[in-house]
Amino acid sequence: KQEVTQIPAALSVPEGENLVLNCSFTDSAIYNLQWFRQDPGKGLTSLLLIQSSQREQTSGRLNASLDKSSGRSTLYIAASQPGDSATYLCAAHNYGQNFVFGPGTRLSVLP
């Protein structure tokens, strides 16, 4: 059974810093891994999806990497801004199974 964890649970950084959020999964036979952003009381917004054949994906200031052999994905946020403050969730999708989410990392970017 797939299990997904995220470290740290919460992170507070000053504006302008580069930061890395970590996602670990126990079953490396994933089909893809998706990163989401969630603002308080809202639904999830898809940020990046990495397929198992890929090692990374980039969108603007975001870069997500995937290392299936070690069961890890990282989300790199460059030049953080207060508007980046939100909870970031990763979800692993295994063949023939449903998406399994991590508990999220709550990010605060201080002006």
Partner 1 sequence: DTGVSQDPRHKITKRGQNVTFRCDPISEHNRLYWYRQTLGQGPEFLTYFQNEAQLEKSRLLSDRFSAERPKGSFSTLEIQRTEQGDSAMYLCASRGEQAPYEQYFGPGTRLTVT
Contact 82, 111 (CB under 8 A): yes
Minimum distance from CB of 108 to partner 1 (Å)? Answer: 15
Minimum distance from CB of 61 to partner 1 (Å)? Answer: 20
Asked if residue 104 binds partner 1 (CB under 8 A), the reply is yes
Question: How many residues contact partner 1, by CB under 8 A?
Answer: 23
Beta-strand runs (E) in 8-104: 10-14, 19-25, 30-38, 44-51, 56-59, 62-67, 72-77, 86-94, 99-101
By CB under 8 A, name the binding residues for partner 1. Answer: 4, 31-32, 34, 36, 41-46, 49, 51, 89, 91, 93, 98-104
